[in-house]
Structure 1
């Protein structure tokens, strides 16, 4: 007897479910797309326990006839394709006919549906792929799909699901992607019986962006529009001041479908080259209009990955359109002092000359422009009280003609000394004996730092190591200058040393934070008014999952309902950082980066990130006192030769090497 056998249909469907249904959010995506394909103008999504217990999708689309109801849950049964040629011109969001069959195989499904011309509706119950009889029922036109006990008959898959809040966050992210792609549909999202989003139909996507990402970001967006033959591009991109630490703020839609493509992401980042600091990523909400025969969406079961017939052409069109947008926009962003003193703040970008026409997607075809003269012109005012540490004095030279390519000036101008310098002991003194939290300028008659008693910055077991390292390395003299606002050149006993100011300060902060965490004495400073931070739902859920660990680092956060997190306290050592930026970057990092499996590894990962965010940046001008303070603290660091990420903090050039280069020896 042979060993090859045909698998039963139920096993085939469970295998397909493993590709199509990864988690509850996958079910929400497939059913929302089916509703939009059916012409729905109102769509309601409800989940319980993040979708593990219940997912309910209700729409007012065209519904399913009683004669087609049982076929809708059969594998490879669809109304959207008739022949293989149709795969080369797909115009709908769904087309394979796999999703409903796969979902019904691993859950308990109830479907109530009615066409507008029918006198009554139809209902079917399916449990683990076994369908019951079709019954008549009363229901409004449209379809209501209920999916209960997902993965009930595949318990191994269910154990791999995350916490309820994390799964609800993934569902909310899926909901936001579809809501951004289809602003013409009224959408409602409920989680655990509470309304998270109630989004009326709007003409343009800007209001939806403001709902999900905040008014400040929405008001600073730049309108993008371009057409090359039959390839169209339109949407919004963020002002360079609205960058992110990850690519999660980049949304690319193709014919109303959220997609990911490495080449297009590279084109987007390339367009921002010279406008963003290293490690920052742009924000974008872009829609592509491409003839269906020029793109293949049948690449992956999730339909997120696509392939273009001429990818280089699409890449060039995106890159050139964005660059033309930047050249025709006023991107000046200068630092101005806060009224009454304090840190400099970033001035608002100049407003756009006109409000772009709103563009919407119709379910059956391309987008159409809808004029909206009644909408007020955006103010583009950035209401942030504190300046971004990575801000520069201006994005372009003031006298440079707009037609020339973007240019970042070599000098960012004179600014007030940054507050981070308060945490350096160079020519500063401690406010209290043994306190590392606050520093003040020495008063008149105060002892110089060399004669003051400085508490050790290293654990008791490490002074010998630090002392031997300092003795082995060249001794720094007091002469030091800053070049390119990024590097320090200091004279040593053997020659000279070129120091990366950001890498060195990052190492110093990391060692101090690590020591305090190990000793359990990371002081937290409560905010006088707790600060609410609105972020993506999955990021908020992930952040709250690690709230206990963050509290050990001095950052106190708690849920505030919906997608909002309330910041109640920040580490005293990092009080100069904006709480909103710190929390956003931590949330993005936790939600997007692979995390170490152990608690100690996760603590180290977070300390790496926090110290990087708090450290002085490349391109930031330092005065003489700040340079001396930074170099003085270097001598107290245990591993000053490398930053926490492994990059060298300094390069040493001996006197003999210099003399060889100049031909003296």
Structure 2
């Protein structure tokens, strides 16, 4: 016999702790709520202190408007807020924190003390809360603003505490959050102390570059590009790095929507996509970008921790972000690639030591390398981006292992990957060709029937038009077959079926370039380029270097692999004992 299920109303203290878990997940959740309130209060200076990653202490002090003495206890009642008054206000939220359960949830999960004074009052008011209830209240001298101290977070909720990370990990999340806020509000002076040590200090002078320099260093901040673009009521502003400034993850991408830091995969994808084929593989840009959008076009109340937002037209916002970053890259002045000036962990340094034993590889084959000048105009007559890293003056010395072009530069030796370099040259040439002017085509004397597996057949159907523009002429022939009538002039395959099949396999797995035509062009460029193991004449190598200099992104191939590595003169001299 089944036991009867009893329905009951939970005790207030139990309900409060459950509700607290929806808003307060870990120390960084508390910090976010308190920073939101400080910013909404008009603070110009905010000090954040934490101990043991925020588990034992979190204190946020601001110089904002403060809380009226008669409203101090009311601030800790559920559903109490000064941010909204009625249902219509939900569609026009102009503040960061408006969830009425934030302060009571924090108080339910910790011991809390608040000190606040409004400018018109001679003294401030302090209150101490235990388990969400005010147990002490008194007048107290205090500067204008509010200071909230949270102690022993989750001490009485051990089930919650055991799922937290180590204090160092929790503290790092808090500092990262504060860094994002400092970039979103450069007009506020932030001072962050973790474990008694200063973790972050910004001037609050309103210059985003100064705030950025406090986080990433002055040299990186100086290299950043201005972002300023508006379209259809969407305004995208901030700074982004040139293609020479990158990181191994997306952590250095800060996105804000109407001043609110958000974690949005679509917006992050749009921003990264603007750098397509300009960054090495598995590297990501550095940026701090704010998207200003009308209140009615964004819903900020879709996540308990306010970390996500929902847009009425997400694609339009993504397009605006992508276009804003692309324009910033195009409008910037060319920058020289200088290894000596590279800040650690920011600029790419592909080679750090002397090459080891002779490289093994395929046996050399003599091959002709067809190179042509890259047009200065882009697809459909558009100008190619002017932002690019210039190559130093290089003098070709010879060829290593029939794969690498050895060059002397003003600051050491450079090894050029002949396949990656030629791939970049061919790719840019394909993109620069107007749509009305077809690529070089090699017609076949007799059409070839190509049998394909289902995935490759679908890939060919998807990209048939783009491949046709690039010289691969095909027609459907049954369900899973195609007739090949022409191939790109540079393909040069002995076995057409094998080469086209390999091309389709690579195209099917291509994810680096997102534009359909660009994806097809990158794949064709790879298969049309000189291969490793091909012997090149001195003239061909010089022409390759010269053509690479005129490409839009000479340091990487379309798939993000480096085209060259550098061994500095200092490193060489150290190996020979001259330093």
TM-score by length of structure 2 reads 0.62
**Distance in 2 between residues matched to 1:621 and 1:197, nearest whole Å:** 37
Q: Where does 1:240-279 land on structure 2 (aligned, <5 Å)? A: 240-279=243-282
Q: Where does 1:199-238 land on structure 2 (aligned, <5 Å)? A: 199-238=202-241
Q: Where does 1:357-396 land on structure 2 (aligned, <5 Å)? A: 382=342, 388-389=349-350
Shift of 1:418: 12
Contact 2:200 2:215 in 1 (8 A): no
Q: Where does 1:102-251 land on structure 2 (aligned, <5 Å)? A: 102-251=105-254
Deviations 1:130-149 (A, max 9, x none): 32143222212211111111
Query: Does 2:323 correspond to 1:320?
Result: yes
CA shift in 2, pair 1:49/1:16, >3 Å = same
Match of 2:79 among 76, 79, 90: 76
Contact 1:277 1:390 in 2 (8 A): no
Shift of 1:244: 1.4
**Distance in 2 between residues matched to 1:196 and 1:621, nearest whole Å:** 37
Contact 2:299 2:310 in 1 (8 A): yes
CA shift in 2, pair 1:383/1:277, >3 Å = closer
Shift of 1:218: 0.8
Contact 2:242 2:329 in 1 (8 A): no
Q: Which blocks of at least 5 consecutive residues in structure 2 are unaligned?
A: 353-372, 402-416, 424-491, 493-497, 503-559, 566-579
**DSSP 3-state at the match of 1:91:** coil
Query: Does 2:70 correspond to 1:94?
Result: no
Partner residue of 1:55? 58
Contact 1:113 1:142 in 2 (8 A): yes
Shift of 1:292: 1.2
Q: Which blocks of at least 5 consecutive residues in structure 1 are unaligned?
A: 335-344, 348-380, 392-396, 422-480, 490-494, 500-616, 623-665
Shift of 1:182: 1.0
CA shift in 2, pair 1:398/1:220, >3 Å = farther
Match of 2:302 among 299, 304, 308: 299
**DSSP 3-state at the match of 1:288:** strand
Shift of 1:161: 2.4
Contact 1:106 1:128 in 2 (8 A): yes
**DSSP 3-state at the match of 1:102:** helix
**DSSP 3-state at the match of 2:67:** coil
**DSSP 3-state at the match of 1:264:** helix
Q: Where does 1:383-532 land on structure 2 (aligned, <5 Å)? A: 388-389=349-350, 400-401=376-377, 403-406=382-385, 483-484=419-420
**Distance in 2 between residues matched to 1:384 and 1:125, nearest whole Å:** 47
Deviations 1:178-205 (A, max 9, x none): 1111111122111222333332211211
**DSSP 3-state at the match of 2:221:** helix
**DSSP 3-state at the match of 1:404:** coil
**Distance in 2 between residues matched to 1:621 and 1:95, nearest whole Å:** 52
Shift of 1:235: 0.7
Shift of 1:54: 1.0
**DSSP 3-state at the match of 2:10:** coil
Aligned length: 394
Partner residue of 2:542? none
**Distance in 1 between residues matched to 2:215 and 2:287, nearest whole Å:** 13
**Distance in 1 between residues matched to 2:163 and 2:209, nearest whole Å:** 36
**DSSP 3-state at the match of 1:217:** helix
Deviations 1:1-46 (A, max 9, x none): 8622222222222122212112212111110110110111111111
**Distance in 2 between residues matched to 1:414 and 1:259, nearest whole Å:** 48
CA shift in 2, pair 1:197/1:415, >3 Å = farther
**Distance in 2 between residues matched to 1:131 and 1:168, nearest whole Å:** 28
Query: Does 2:39 correspond to 1:36?
Result: yes
Contact 2:126 2:140 in 1 (8 A): yes
CA shift in 2, pair 1:390/1:182, >3 Å = farther
CA shift in 2, pair 1:297/1:306, >3 Å = same
Partner residue of 2:20? 17
Shift of 1:159: 2.2
Deviations 1:197-253 (A, max 9, x none): 332211211011111011222111111101113211111111101111211111011
**Distance in 1 between residues matched to 2:41 and 2:304, nearest whole Å:** 20
Partner residue of 1:659? none
CA shift in 2, pair 1:54/1:255, >3 Å = same
CA shift in 2, pair 1:29/1:484, >3 Å = closer
TM-score by length of structure 1 reads 0.54
**Distance in 2 between residues matched to 1:293 and 1:155, nearest whole Å:** 41
**DSSP 3-state at the match of 2:285:** coil
Contact 2:115 2:124 in 1 (8 A): yes
